[in-house]
Amino acid sequence: MRYLALTEKDRKEMFAAIGVSSIDELYDAVSSEFLLKKPIENLPNHQGEIEVEKILKSLAAKNHTAAQGPFFLGAGCYKHYIPSTVDYIIQRSEFLTSYTPYQPEISQGTLAVIFQFQSIIALLTGMEVANASMYDGATSLSESCLMALRIKQGRKNIAVLGDVHPDYLEVAKTSLDLNESKFVSQIDESCAAVVVQYPDFHGEVGNLDDVRKKCDAAGALMIVVTNEILSLGLLEAPEQADICVGEASSLGVGLNFGGPLLGFFACKKEFVRQMPGRICGATTDVDGKAGYVLTLNAREQHIRREKATSNICSNQGLCATAFTVHASLLGEIGFKKLALINHKKACDLADRLAKAKGVKILNKSFFNEFTIELTKDAAEVNKKLLAKNIIGGLAQKNKMIVAVSELTSEQDIETFVTELEKILN
């Protein structure tokens, strides 16, 4: 693409349009201490590709990655094994594209994968319909709250029950603030919905039947959020919910320095017209052949901007494809086996920690993640663990949320507990 510089005339026209006389005026709101007064001095000279590559490699070598030792960090992103088949398939040009499949006549492959993704999510959550994916678990929760407010018009609050991921709540709070709504702790008739995490942020597996009764008593919708989708391979599907959302990057996507992630969104069929994002539906063409299309498009911003249920310009299609490939490779039996292995690893860790001096397990139930109480500050403990090439769990004062997966070996558990005891005693 040819670069065309702005002329002085262009700049003056733009200044006039926005009501300023110079570029400096655009920075009036920025404190002077943060403004660059003069060019940066002593910048290094340019270098060749070989030299730059060496510099970048030396910087990268300072990182400590999840694969370099025992790893017990979770809290929303989990270290799982991803088969090489997943990367091979998603790198094919049929899938590795920014094109949105609005034209079904040339997009049947992509649409078929999206439909498969939706079907898997609906099966795991026990919901009747699912959309084509969301950005991540946090924005999925945010959109579910807005959806509840649309359904329960006149109600302004969203109740939060138990331990919900604080980062998810922060993201959702941004949307609620813009809608003059808020999170509350008490369930009453001002609440459009009740949010509960399953398992919760600290790994506890709660009773959803009790939550359902409280929702019904207040006439509120029930939103269930899950940040480890693999747990639904072992736990009962949250069928009690009206809306089920969460994070699905555990399969196919991986950690990737914190992103991209993969949100999922499912609900009861009666609420489908208030659901955000794209939905792929199965249909038949004029010849009676089965096919797939994007359906209920009137909910979306490219059709009805002012009345759209959301403004999602990307449905994380490639990440959804990666999840679908991984889940399909596992199959229903393999998915359940993988979930069982994760739980067994967590039980092994819990059994070993229960015998450790200075450690107390706080959970009564868990899937592959639970919380322990330590006799010392968890953040300081993590620093000492890292010095031993171990990445500990999420630190919360004197508590630590630890997670395991199928990649956690017996030796990893033994090394972690042994070093933890040395630090605490």
Residue 74: pLDDT above 90? yes
Nearest Cα residue to 303 out of 315, 294, 290? 294
Nearest Cα residue to 386 out of 165, 110, 63? 63
Residue 421 near residue 357 (C-beta atoms within 8 A): yes
Q: What is the pLDDT at residue 2?
A: 67
Q: How many C-beta atoms lie closer than 10 Å to residue 161's C-beta?
A: 20
Residue 1: pLDDT above 70? no
Residue 318 near residue 295 (C-beta atoms within 8 A): no
Count, in order, helices (H) and strands (E) of the chain. 10, 13
pLDDT, tens only, 156-183: 999 999 999 999 999 999 999 988 899 9
More confident residue, 308 or 379: 379
Mean pLDDT of the chain: 93
The number of CA neighbours under 13 Å toward the Cβ of 29 is: 1
Q: How many C-beta atoms lie closer than 10 Å to residue 294's C-beta?
A: 20
Q: H or E stretch including 244?
A: strand 243-247
Calculate mean pLDDT across residues 74-100.
92
More confident residue, 98 or 177: 177
The tokens for 101 are 């499949």
Residue 165 near residue 225 (C-beta atoms within 8 A): yes
The tokens for 213 are 């009764």
pLDDT cut 90: percent of the chain above it: 76
Confidence of residue 258 (pLDDT cuts 50, 70, 90): confident
Q: What is the pLDDT at residue 424?
A: 94
Report how far apart the first and last C-alpha atoms of the chain are (Å, whole number): 64
Distance CA 124, CA 247 (A): 13
Total-model pTM: 0.87
Q: How many C-beta atoms lie closer than 10 Å to residue 60's C-beta?
A: 9
Distance CA 127, CA 244 (A): 7
DSSP helix/strand/coil, 382: helix
Strands (E), 100-220: 129-130, 157-161, 182-184, 191-197
